[in-house]
Structure 1
């Protein structure tokens, strides 16, 4: 039987896997958000202009085993691949595993048996770092990391790094010790090794730790100044005043720089925190009695205050990890060892013109430090001709180091393609054509394991709906815990317009000013990603022990719903979300069933390409629906239209309600869910009512900002409307 050839037996469904989304050239003014960029080269070829001719069996991924001809050689090859893969994996936590890992990484390890029978392993990580790990009866006792450049009390890299390394050698919650491997420890050890290799004499002897510490000092100085300004706007005696001011700077100003925070080794600039307004109950102030103080563990007392108030399960943090990497100095501005990135005055002098001050708030007074040059290598006075480094141009005096700063996104951030291109251009890089991929927000953020909708859709086509089922705890009519119940939500997300996105993992930079300036845009998409992932994540998450509940509303005669028996209702509540992801302002369009409607399913916006009429963009479609119902008066009938709102996400994740039919607004700016019953009284009363209505509209966006949960916010909106109807 003849072996089939790729030209006659290649399954048609596999053709998309061999397509390249990168055009060979892109005009400089081309719109990267347009699907035409990725479809312009499709004609006459497969996928993105890659021909199938000249591809052999190995290129197609067809092996002898895949064609049913596995023999002894094939099985031996498989076994060798498995063994090679296992050799690359770190071993288990213990003396033998740590020793083997260090041997594989080329590190020297000193082993010493202490008088008490325990073993001390000393890891010599280059010329800058030493790590001591005492082990007793196979258990890791502690970790002591020491760095030669760590001499500043304000930047205890060794002490905080020791905590992270110790944590990486402990099992995670719910993990058994027998399954504990050195994966996390190996990742942190690799970071220390890279820093040491870049600081080695053969690379010029530039101390990368000092360069990172200099950036940290300037960023910390800016953070402390902005925190004082934020504290001035908070009541001094308010609970957690310092913490709230700190989180305000983290999410709205220049970010919070930290050395070795959480599980991340190195300098991190934290720029966004989920649910920053929510403080977990476990961090409530401890009793001031002596008995209460005795219960505080020594490790907890020595822990950083910032770590103590950050619960990863509630307050997920987005950060930029600042590191160093190899890069030719002729192509990119190299690192500079200095802490003078910011002037002592912190901010530029304020403008005396109040109108200009309101439009352009004060900006940080950034400085440009002097370049850092390489030191000349040591030469031998006995025989200059025998010195090979005498002819090395990269080591001659006056040369710049071949090292640059880089910021790694933790976690990687999903951005529109146009925004990713703009960020790269802001740091002096150009987008390469091979980096362009037909990926979308849905494929990257919500369905990373599935085929991306951008791979299948045509130019201008709509993506498929993303559906999920969640459970939301709804309080009873009196707000009591005994009357709360669980309601099932059937959620649907639609992205009517194909907008390409990219997962950004790292960006090089020359000056910390570049990072601070891009934070407002990063926060926009960090908020959108976090909000939608919490509702439309593919993996169903277990219900938390203490789930968030909607803000309580005063009890009214018509405010209660259900029986309050703690059971989920039979019919799920349908919540629809339409996403417009394009820069500069992403928009979220929500459709929520009215509390007085008989059917819990709202009227969905038509987004199917096969509809009789073309589907408009989400804001246009929702605006048309609102205008058609602007004169509708909601009564106690069962024909109430669904509640709808468009929320725009502006820089720094500032939320603005652009269109809504939840609150009655004077002047016809929005539809009214409670009827146009504003009385015709004097102008003062009209202005007062208009101001109150405006505050209620802002309260809609404020509620979403506080809870950052689509289900919780939807229940709160329904409850607010029910209260107004019953008032």
Structure 2
């Protein structure tokens, strides 16, 4: 018979031992900060150097947190590892766990108290990186760090084996994890709110959490970490802590945005079907077309990530999978660019609070005013979307949801949720300063100062350049950010001769950045309306496609090397100016025969991304300048291919539009050069 028993308290909840004035090394588990927002839970606020945060929605009162808060402030704080305690002792940090004071004993000079707190934040980040291993104890510690309640129930199966069920609960969600000898057998996620749009998505989220915890083929329990599960489950726990039930359900708020974006996506698909060239295309092809050329593709709990994502770009977007097996493979291997939507506490003034609605866009999607629609069709070939403005949420004023930082404002404002929508760029997007300012303008915000490396995460001036962020300079290398830069790589490319036989040709690729442009890497920002995300998509696609071209020819999959032409003739010792270097670089391409090929590329990203591609063909040199427009469209600005093709009279005559469309489909400068070469040889 099943016997529910409360989960044993972690050592941090057992009080002090008689032999120690401070905490023992076994007492730290409960003091570990939460994964997503450190010190956001009141159980941990006592340990925070800054005290409790001002966002009340982060706090959920439960027996677990109440027990933690009842413990003596610093007496419950210590490490669960003797080796860690010894290391802290070596740092001069005593049993009272005075990290900041311990840092002073190291002889570290701090200008202000803020410097000490920043250094402490770095220490906490290092301690919080490892989530532990999949086991009953590991899951217990993780639930405690997230500030959720946890109970254990033991069951005896028909064969006599005993299994444990861990029940982790928040205010609106609960998850049951079944373990057999510390090996996870099943995961069930449940939602206790009233939104059917959230309940219908729980099974998909459960399958992702199960995959994060279940052993893979030939995997040992000793190597199964909690990292992936912690990433996904912390997203769920964060929404639970930010919700105020009743009043604000963050799960429902995100589900409402998903419903609206899905309505817009279905409208895109129906319009694509009406286009003559799309009439015979498959559903997957239309989905990819909407993903990359229209308003994106919203997904909930997909690609091994729990939560809402708006996909806007994809590798091989013109090649949809032909069957389910290939589709499953492309799901895990092909790169997708997405916007990950979440919620976060409002910690600065000027951010808009979340709103809950399924009608961010009208049921008709577009405005029905015929005059406005005709004007839109005439001017930009697109109808005007009928975006709506949902009403704000008003929470009942109470001590639980009152924001201390807002006391001076009106009582009406103090009842608004102290939670905002956030978007995370996956992967992060690298933009020149002007484009970065434009991206932030879509959400009515100003970009933060560049934050590269240095003490406490601050990069020394000047700001990083585009090439430095995309191709980081190796430590110890002497590279002046104000000077031109050359990157050389080797890549093996499979090509086909005129008889259809394949062979491998070695490409010697050289990237020349003659004008460094100050840039920023954008990872996340707050937003108030999904319309703002839709407006970003053309700019994001422009630089997503540029990143594909650069990665394929000069990224991590290529090898280090020096092209023969550049090594022999480019940038001689007498070269003094950038103009002279550029002239020497352009004159350095020679035909190296069938077995290898030199491709020289010049990059500049201001005011738009431009690439000048130079490579040899049969004793002559092909020289093409292209620009990547918003939406990832390739425009050929200048070329000498048509002239040479006219002279040789070989193959079907090409035009600039053909060249651009081929590059858009190949997504690869090396393959593009080989394709052009076959048309001229």
Instruction: Give the TM-score of the pair, scaled to structure 1.
Output: 0.65
Task: Answer with 143-152 or 391-400: which moved more.
Answer: 391-400
Aligned equivalents of 2:125 and 2:297: distance in 1? Answer: 42
What's 1:536 paired with? 554
Q: What do the CA deviations read for 1:637-679 (whole angstroms, capped 9, x no partner)?
A: xxxx211211211111111111111124xxxxxxx3442989x
CA distance in 1 between counterparts of 2:199 and 2:464 reads: 41
Give yes or no for contact 1:446–1:538 (8 Å, CA) kept in 2.
no
Do residues 663 (structure 1) and 642 (structure 2) align?
yes
Equivalent positions of 1:256-267 (< 5 A) are 256-267=297-308
The CA deviation string for residues 254-304 of structure 1, in whole angstroms up to 9 with x for no partner, is 11111111122211011111111123466369xxxxxxxxxxxxxxxxxxx
Question: Aligned pair in 2 of structure 1 residues 355, 437: CA closer, same or farther (>3 Å)?
Answer: same
Check conservation: 1:486, 1:569, Cα contact below 8 A. no
Give 1:357's aligned residue.
377
**In the alignment, is residue 179 of structure 1 matched against residue 203 of structure 2?**
no
Contact 2:450 2:464 in 1 (8 A): no
- Give the Cα–Cα distance (whole angstroms) in 1 for the partners of residues 540 and 278 of structure 2: 31
Question: What residue number does 2:365 align with?
Answer: 346
Measured against aligned partners, the alpha-carbon deviations of 1:123-163 in whole angstroms (never above 9, x if no partner) come to 42421111111122443222211122374368733111112
Of 150, 153, 156, the match for 1:109: 150
Deviations 1:428-448 (A, max 9, x none): 222344658521222212226
In 2, the alpha carbon distance for the partners of 1:232 and 1:309 equals 30
Is the Cα–Cα contact under 8 Å of residues 342 and 366 in structure 1 kept in the other structure?
yes
Q: Structure 1 310/434 Cα, relative in aligned 2: closer, same or farther at 3 Å?
A: closer
CA distance in 2, matches of 1:308, 1:282: 9
Instruction: String of CA shifts for 1:483-512, please: whole Å, max 9, x gaps.
Output: 211111111111111111111001211111
| 2:232 is equivalent to residue 232 of structure 1 | no
C-alpha distance after superposition, 1:365-420 (max 9, x if no partner) = 111111111124499xxxxxxx999x978995662111111111011111111111
Structure 2 equivalent of residue 650 of structure 1: 629
Q: What's the CA shift string for 1:291-327, capped at 9, x where partnerless?
A: xxxxxxxxxxxxxxxx7484332x3110111111111
1:141 maps onto 2:165 in alignment? no
Q: Alpha-carbon deviation of 1:232?
A: 2.2
Q: In the alignment, which residue of structure 2 is the partner of 1:278?
A: 319
Do the aligned partners of 1:125 and 1:193 also contact (CA within 8 Å) in 2?
no
Cα shift at 1:697: 2.5
**CA distance in structure 1 between the aligned counterparts of 2:544 and 2:125, rounded to whole angstroms:** 38
Tell me the alpha carbon deviations over residues 32-84 of structure 1, each in whole angstroms, 9 at most, x when there is no partner. xxxxxxxxxxxxxxxxxxxxxxxxxxxxxxxxxxxxxxxx9999229999999
1:601-645 per-position Cα deviation (integer Å, ceiling 9, x unaligned): xxxxxxxxxxxxxxxxxxxxxxxxxxxxxxxxxxxxxxxx21121
Aligned residues: 521
Which 5+ residue runs of structure 2 have no aligned equivalent? 1-85, 100-122, 452-460, 561-591
Aligned counterparts, 1:370-389, within 5 A: 370-377=391-398
- Indicate how the Cα distance of structure 1 residues 223 and 88 shifts in structure 2: closer, same or farther if over 3 A, else same: closer
C-alpha contact 1:212 1:322 (8 A) present in aligned 2: yes
Distance of 2:88 and 2:221 partners within structure 1: 37
Aligned Cα root-mean-square deviation (Å): 3.7
Partner in structure 2 of residue 415 of structure 1: 431
Q: Which position in structure 1 is the counterpart of 2:17? A: none
The answer to whether residue 523 in structure 2 is matched with residue 527 in structure 1 is: no
- 1:522 partner SS: helix
Contact 2:309-2:340 within 8 A present in 1 as well = yes
Deviations 1:94-116 (A, max 9, x none): 22322232233333322222231
Match of 1:269 in 2: 310
Question: Structure 1: which 5+ residue stretches go unaligned?
Answer: 1-71, 286-306, 380-386, 543-567, 598-640, 665-671, 679-688, 723-727
| Deviation at residue 352 of structure 1 after TM alignment | 8.1
CA distance in 2, matches of 1:74, 1:373: 47
- CA gap 1:673/1:266 in 2 versus in 1, 3 angstroms: same
Distance 2:468 2:662 in 1: 28
Q: 1:225 to 1:92 in 2, by over 3 A?
A: same
SS at match of 2:186: coil
Correspondence for 1:249 = 290
1-structure distance, mates of 2:276, 2:162:
52
1:215 is matched with: 257
Q: C-alpha separation between the residues in 2 aligned to 1:73 and 1:346?
A: 61
Taking structure 2 as the reference length, the TM-score comes to 0.69
In the TM superposition, residue 181 of structure 1 has moved relative to its aligned partner by 0.9
Q: What are the residue-to-residue correspondences of 1:322-333 with 2, within 5 Å?
A: 322-327=341-346, 330-333=349-352
Matched with 1:607 is: none
Partners of 1:83 and 1:437 in 2: how far apart? 28
- Which residues of 2 match residues 422-437 of structure 1 at below 5 A? 422-433=438-449
The answer as to whether partners of 1:442 and 1:452 remain within 8 angstroms in 2 is no
| Alignment of 1:579 onto 2:551 | no
Q: Which has the higher strand share?
A: 2
What is the alpha-carbon distance in structure 2 between the residues aligned to residue 540 and residue 277 of structure 1?
Answer: 24
What are the residue-to-residue correspondences of 1:491-640 with 2, within 5 Å? 491-538=509-556, 540=558, 571-583=595-607, 585-594=608-617, 596-597=618-619
Q: 1:89 to 1:318 in 2, by over 3 A?
A: same
Q: Secondary structure at the match of 1:345?
A: strand
Tell me which moved more, 137-146 or 709-718.
137-146
Q: CA separation in 1, counterparts of 2:221 and 2:437?
A: 45
Instruction: Tell me, yes or no, if the aligned pair for 2:272 and 2:278 is still in contact at 8 Å.
Output: no
1:110, 1:177 → 2: CA distance?
23
* Aligned twin of 1:547: none
**1:156-209 deviation per Cα after TM superposition (whole angstroms, max 9, x unaligned):** 3311111221222246799765322111111112212211111146xx852111
Q: Does structure 2 conserve the Cα–Cα contact (< 8 Å) formed by 1:280 and 1:311?
A: no
Q: Quote the residue 1:720 is aligned against.
A: 679
Match of 2:112 in 1: none
Give the distance between the partners of 1:497 and 1:437, measured in 2 at CA: 15
